[in-house]
Amino acid sequence: MNWWVHSLYESYGLVVLFSWAFWVIFSIVLHELAHGWAAIANGDNTPREMGHMTMNPIVHMGRMSLFFFVILGIAWGLMPINPRRFRHERRGRVLVAAAGPAMNLLLAFITLTAAGAWVWAVTSGRITVATHIAANVEQFLFWGGFINLLLGAFNLLPIPPLDGSAILAGAHPALDRFYNTPAVRMYGMLVVLFFFFRVIDDPLQRTAGTAASTYVNWVEDRLIGPGTGSASDSFPEDAEEPDNSAAETMPPGN
């Protein structure tokens, strides 16, 4: 298996490689901060007391996660919480777990909207920049949206230790008991790794890429006008996708 950095650079170039690394790390940090903000809002001050309400990626990801990201393209983060301190424990667990993927989907919406608006601004002459700069900015924004769609969707899978399982565990006592079964927790990570390499690597990437491209084109059409044509070509359908994607896999409080 090729090193993901080399594969991404050879397939897409330096701008996309930088965009990928930046957005994975930045998005995981904001994902974890969203867990922390939600925990604090629900009465648990543990994230602040533990010094995790910071933009420092080393605090959220740790050196081991950053090492694995460089070597394998896999990354994760952690936000310490104490559900027993929530004003309403069960509702708080659901809201805190959902906050991370919600942040990723919000980032995807912002960056993809910005990508469409950027193309409109350049195409309409409202912003005048060199062609390569215009293309690089569009790629940077597009890949930010694409990566956050992946992170949001992946973390909503109902498999421990992903956030989707924490949402369900907080929603119903029977599911809580199921997800806290030692065997389920032990084998959950193996299932996550299977999904990472078998699902994230192909169908989920293609689905996220199609969704991102479709939305960017829709924004362009709304601003430029239908029939004018789209300048968005950041994720062509026939392009070979990178060998690995990074996912924030650790649930809050685990």
Give the C-alpha separation, 3 to 14, whole Å: 15
Give the C-alpha separation, 137 to 143, whole Å: 10
- When mean pLDDT is compared across 25-34, 116-125, 176-185, the lowest value belongs to 176-185
**Would the CA dihedral through 56, 59, 63, 68 be positive or negative?**
negative
The stretch 190-205 carries a mean pLDDT of: 72
Position 154 in a domain: yes
Which residue range is the domain that position 67 belongs to?
Answer: 4-224
For residue 27, which of 101, 99, 104, 80 has the smallest C-alpha distance? 104
Position 9 in a domain: yes
Position 237 in a domain: no
The stretch 99-103 carries a mean pLDDT of: 98
Position 241 in a domain: no
How many domains are there within the chain? 1
Position 231 in a domain: no
Q: What is the pLDDT of residues 37-88, one digit of tens each?
A: 999 999 999 999 999 999 999 999 999 999 999 998 889 999 999 999 999 9
Tell me the CA distances in angstroms from 216 to 9, 146, 210, one per residue in order: 24, 11, 10
What are the residue numbers of the active site?
A: 32
Q: What is the pLDDT of residues 231-245, one digit of tens each?
A: 444 443 433 333 333
Q: Which DSSP state fits 55?
A: S
Label residue 199 by pLDDT band (50, 70, 90): low
Amino acid at 158: P
Give the C-alpha separation, 253 to 19, whole Å: 29
Position 177 in a domain: yes
Position 78 in a domain: yes
Position 236 in a domain: no
| Three-state secondary-structure class, residue 162 | coil
Q: What is the pLDDT of residues 135-194, one digit of tens each?
A: 999 999 999 999 999 999 999 989 999 999 999 999 999 998 999 888 888 888 888 777
